[in-house]
Structure 1
Amino acid sequence: MQEQAYAEVFLIDKPKEWTSFDVVKKVRNALKIKKVGHAGTLDPLATGLLIVCAGKMTKQIETFMGQEKEYTGTFVIGETTESFDLEKPVEFVADASHITLEDVRAAALQLTGDIMQVPPMHSAIKVDGKRVYESARKGLDVKMEPRPVQVREFEITSFQDRVVEFRISCSKGTYIRSLARDLGEILGVGAYMSSLCRTRIGEFRLEDAKDLLPLIEEIKARRADENL
């Protein structure tokens, strides 16, 4: 393979508990080239569409990252965690038995459109040159400034037994964990994100993505054919 001329984009369904870098490393090792990167991080506990660019296509990473994202998943109300997902222990906040579907939809409406959002402390954003999750793990307090994001759609698809199912279309830089936190605050009972799947990046859709490990075997087989 001529690395200088090589260019390819892979649509991958990221497995749960894999980091986005784990996926990139796996693809890089299979291709045996250095220029491989992803177009937008997914947290380890999240699944779904990850765009991985190789060779000359790494120049397109910023373009892909800037496109609208779509997610589905679940929030749990009445409880929260330090990270607003299941990376940290769940803590009881308040009895949420009085919350109705109409209440949840009204709260989601307040978080739809052009909003100012404070990123979670357990995120990869840099403040003063340091990743804030590194400071959070050390117990250091970092002031997070609100940032403008756009939530074009915040659809509540189901609500039962304190579990909110949603579909969200949003701009680059939107944290779904922060939407969980803010939804819980509006409802007055707390909330955290219990599952998340990225279903779309721009016009690229999850149904067109490949499972990671079969893709790696496909890449290895193709390289073996090229080296014959």
Structure 2
Amino acid sequence: MTEQIPDLRGLNFEEGYIAVIDKPLEWTSTDVVRKIKFALRRLGYRKIKVGHAGTLDPLATGVLLVCIGRATKLVDALQAEEKEYVADVMLGATTPSFDLEHPVDRTYPWEHITREGVGEALRALTGERLQEPPRYSAKKIDGTRAYELARAGEEVTLRKAQIAIYEMELLEYALPRIKIRVRCSKGTYIRSLAGEIGQSLRSGAHLTALRRTRSGGFTAEKAFSLDVFLQKLQELETK
């Protein structure tokens, strides 16, 4: 990310502002919203609305659109836009969450995998299709988050959702690790995609890193680090 220095002087945040934040690792999307909302309250915006347009998992980084004031009316439209990710995938092993939130639960052979085979798997998984969300996800089942049920040891079955993978590109090939770029529709779970890649290769797979590089027309290159954005809000307190 090229560090951006936002000029927030003279803004009326109630009128609407979209902060393009580079979400830090291990922060939830809600954590980021809460922190910005607290900073705005210190500036006198006691009842201002703040929300995000598209959840990023705690172990993911990258573009998180935080909508402030009247811009919160744009959340649904922004969430519906195309996304792009760069994902590091470990082949030959799975975890219950398809990422590093949980330890490896099964291992599989991966020595038979070839670069050509990976390319074929990526092509086969490209296009419009149904995808099952991870059981450790924020999807709700009868009002309860799926990850809460999964952590309680309950059986979790989630309905498959229509998604579209517009493009996948193999960026790095260093078995048993690969790095891919994914351009996709809203609602696509890259963790589930990692698992699907593993199955397609007659092996297993899980994510070891995930970065959202674009959401609609907003890119990581023009994102603000959360620390810088909060610092600029703090500076407004003294002016």
TM range (shorter): over 0.9
Structure-2 change in CA distance of 1:36 and 1:70 (3 Å):
same
Structure-2 change in CA distance of 1:5 and 1:50 (3 Å):
closer
Look up the equivalent residue of 1:201 and give its one-letter code. Answer: S
Corresponding residue for residue 15 of structure 1: 24
Look up the equivalent residue of 1:30 and give its one-letter code. Answer: A
Corresponding residue for residue 153 of structure 1: 167
Look up the equivalent residue of 1:8 and give its one-letter code. Answer: Y
TM-score relative to the length of structure 2: 0.90
Structure-2 change in CA distance of 1:47 and 1:2 (3 Å):
closer
TM-score relative to the length of structure 1: 0.95
1:210 lines up with 2:224 in the alignment: yes
Mapped partners of 1:97, 1:2: distance in 2: 57
Determine if contact 1:31/1:223 at 8 Å carries over to the other structure.
Answer: no
Mapped partners of 2:112, 2:218: distance in 1: 39
Post-superposition offset of 1:16:
0.4
* Cα distance per residue 1:82-133 (max 9 Å; x no partner): 0000000023421201201111111111110001100000000112221111
Post-superposition offset of 1:224:
2.9
RMSD (Å) for aligned C-alpha atoms = 1.5
Post-superposition offset of 1:206:
0.6
Corresponding residue for residue 137 of structure 1: 151
Look up the equivalent residue of 1:28 and give its one-letter code. Answer: K
Question: Which residue among 27, 32, 35 is the counterpart of 2:36?
Answer: 27
Corresponding residue for residue 100 of structure 1: 114
Post-superposition offset of 1:161:
2.5
Corresponding residue for residue 190 of structure 1: 204
Structure-2 change in CA distance of 1:75 and 1:5 (3 Å):
closer
Corresponding residue for residue 50 of structure 1: 64
For residue 142 of structure 1, give the secondary structure of its aligned residue in structure 2.
Answer: coil
Unaligned stretches of 5+ in structure 1?
A: none
